[in-house]
Amino acid sequence: MTEAWLFYPMAIVALGGALGMILARNPVHGAMSLVLSFFGIASVYVLLAAELIAALQIIVYAGAIMVLFVFVIMLLNLNEEDLERPRLTPGTIVGGAAALAFWMISFMIFSDLPEQTMPTELPEGFGQVASLGRLIFGSFILPFESTSVLLLVAMVGAIVVAKARI
């Protein structure tokens, strides 16, 4: 079994990229760290037998969404004085403590769970395009159609909000 040998390094890559995102002062560096984190997350998805979602993760998240982020950062053309100064305010301390408390509480809950190992036997075609497509166009057809309307509304809304004069 190579699952553990792949899972723990990739989990470290995902968490390290996420920490790099939050610690980077320049948003461009943060975006690049987040791309690294998304690649780590996608490789964990492959271990979870979700090949299609892993491919979508790289194409949509690391590709499309992060390119949009970097494009907007360059479009806004931030100066040095626009970057935030790291400072310790009560809000910052409370926020960091709340996030840490969330992680510790969830970790305690997960360590109390009965030791459940992943099943080794999987149904035929689990996580493949054909079976996921059959599921989405079958029992998930209503959410799928709502998502298409949502994407249309988001496209119109983005153009209306971002354009100076319509």
Site for other proteins in 31-70 (CB under 8 A): 31, 34, 37-38, 41, 44-45, 47-50, 52-53, 56-57, 60-61, 64-65, 68-69
Nearer to other proteins, 75 or 80 (CB): 75
The answer to whether residue 158 forms part of the interface with other proteins (CB under 8 A) is yes
d(CA 124, CA 98): 43
d(CA 91, CA 96): 9
* Residue from 9, 74, 145, 150 in contact with other proteins (CB under 8 A): 150
* Residue from 81, 115, 124, 130 in contact with other proteins (CB under 8 A): 115
* Residue from 9, 15, 36, 130 in contact with other proteins (CB under 8 A): 15
Please state the closest distance from residue 35 (CB atom) to other proteins, in A.
Answer: 10
User: How many CB atoms within 10 Å of residue 156?
Assistant: 10
Q: Which of left, alpha, beta for 51 (phi over 0: left; psi -120 to 50: alpha)?
A: alpha
d(CA 29, CA 63): 16
# residues contacting other proteins (CB under 8 A) = 88
Q: With the CA atoms of 103, 127, 144 and 158 taken in that order, what torsion angle do they form, in degrees rounded to the nearest 10?
A: 60
